[in-house]
Structure 1
Amino acid sequence: MATRTDASTRREQILKEAARLFAERGFHGVGVDEIGAAVGISGPGLYRHFAGKDAMLAELLVGISGQLLTGARRRLAEADGVAPGTVLDSLIEGHIDFALDDRPLITLHDRELDRLRDSDRKLVRQLQRQYVELWVGVVREVYPELAEPTARSAVHSVFGLLNSTPHLGRPGALPGRAVTAVLLHRMARGAFGAAGAV
């Protein structure tokens, strides 16, 4: 008899492979049977875990937006009494982890967000706005001379920079995760510094 943990792990495997396949070939270019084959179960067996491809896509995109927001809130809570610059560094590190480890989800978001039901798409946007505003607050603590609209523009620009990882080539083509992470962090801090110097 499968345990709840086994079912949860299976769902995670399905979502990971679905994200990879959707990112590689597009949502409509992938069948349920192919996703099932990638995780070693029959296509119809997927319906024990998900109602269909639309449900997988929604869970992927709503899920990652929620995870980013939850992770950022956790980092802020853990940084109580810490210098704002250190908090900003922590937020950048968290987003870099996402950008390097979940590259298919970035591609998926860019290509397939409009395929979500209105309610799911609105939820993704709501979670993303909260995530942006959390960053804006921290950025303005580090660079108090920045007006709120400028800080918000800087945050969006840094997200664009960090979320460019799908365009850096295959993971093996990168100079190494640690080196890439340091480079992205330095560039993100440089972008915020440049915005603060304007």
Structure 2
Amino acid sequence: MTSGVTERDRAKADRQAAILHEAARLFAERGFSGVSLEELGAAVGVSGPALYRHFANKQALLGAILVGVSERLLAGGRGVVAGGGSPADQLRALIGFHVDFALSDADVIRVQDRDLASLSDDDRHSVRRLQREYVEVWIGILSALHPDRGREDLRVRAHACFGLINSTPHSVRALREEPRDGQVRGVLETMALAALTV
């Protein structure tokens, strides 16, 4: 019995993943408005118009990047909770998960910081909704650790933690030669944990 996924399906998925990766890199370097479809196509070895076989337009490509990463973050955060453990263990796992994201998807963080307003209204609403749900995952764990604190207090703390971790693409460019699992990861995890458990 086959899985129903053909070689053509796999090739198309691989091409889409390559397009998304290169688009995030180029958007991070030059901004959404500073990159043409022709440049995007050249980065993955196709003509600009060939991208329309995968995405309706450049704005749809931006939406796929930012909605997609928001979906991955929410699924990952929920996966941490589903994994069980004490609230303290879950918080450490959640911080580790978000640090992994920040170190591996630095380009996407830079794109969101600069180009969120360039999304279509529908995609922007989707991103905001998914982000709110991700924050609620953090608040659920933090409320178990700090039952005396209100949800708004915990929401501020969660957002401050994201700011600390997500500053990585802007603050550690000089450390790009360092092993990703070394100095930067340790600093981020230690600081985030200290900030959220103080």
Distance 1:104 1:52 in 2: 20
Matched with 2:195 is 191
Q: Secondary structure at the match of 1:3?
A: helix
The Cα shift of 1:47 comes to: 1.1
Paired with 1:169 and 1:27, the residues of 2 have a C-alpha distance of: 23
Looking at structure 2, the residues matched to 12 and 143 of structure 1 have their Cα atoms a distance apart, in angstroms, of: 40
Structure 2 partner of 1:87: 90
Q: What is the alpha-carbon distance in structure 2 between the residues aligned to residue 102 and residue 32 of structure 1?
A: 22
Offset at 1:171? 7.0
Partner Cα separation in structure 2 for residue 105 and residue 53 of structure 1 = 15
Partner of residue 52 from structure 2, selected from 18, 43, 47: 47
Deviation, 1:175, is: 3.8
Q: CA deviation at 1:2?
A: 5.6
Which secondary structure state, in structure 1, belongs to the residue aligned with residue 148 of structure 2? coil
Q: 2:108 aligns with which of 105, 110, 117?
A: 105
Q: What does the per-residue CA deviation read over 1:154-187, in whole Å, with 9 as the maximum and x for residues that have no partner?
A: 0000000010011124375364311211110100
Aligned residues: 192
| Alpha-carbon displacement from aligned partner over 1:95-145 (angstroms, at most 9, x marks no partner) | 111100000111111111111111111111000000001100101112223
TM score, norm. by length of structure 1: 0.92
Q: State how far apart, in whole Å, the 2-side matches of 1:102 and 1:62 are.
A: 14
> Identical aligned pairs, as a percentage?
46
Q: Distance in 2 between matches of 1:119 and 1:37?
A: 29
Q: Which residue of the partner structure matches residue 76 of structure 1?
A: 81
Tell me by how many angstroms 1:68 deviates.
Answer: 0.2
- 5+ residue gaps, structure 2: 1-5
8 Å CA contact 1:69, 1:130 repeated in 2: yes
Are residue 121 (structure 1) and residue 124 (structure 2) matched?
yes
User: Superposed, which structure 2 residues align to 1:10-49 within 5 Å?
Assistant: 10-49=15-54
Shift of 1:147: 2.0
CA–CA separation in structure 1 for the residues paired with 2:71 and 2:100: 15
Aligned: 1:59 with 2:64: yes
Deviates more, 1:177-186 or 1:15-24: 177-186
Greater CA drift, 159-168 or 176-185 = 176-185
Paired letter, 1:99: A
Gaps of 5+ in 1: none
What are the Cα deviations for residues 39-97 of structure 1, in whole angstroms up to 9, with x where unaligned? 11111111111111111000111111111001111121122xx1111111111111111
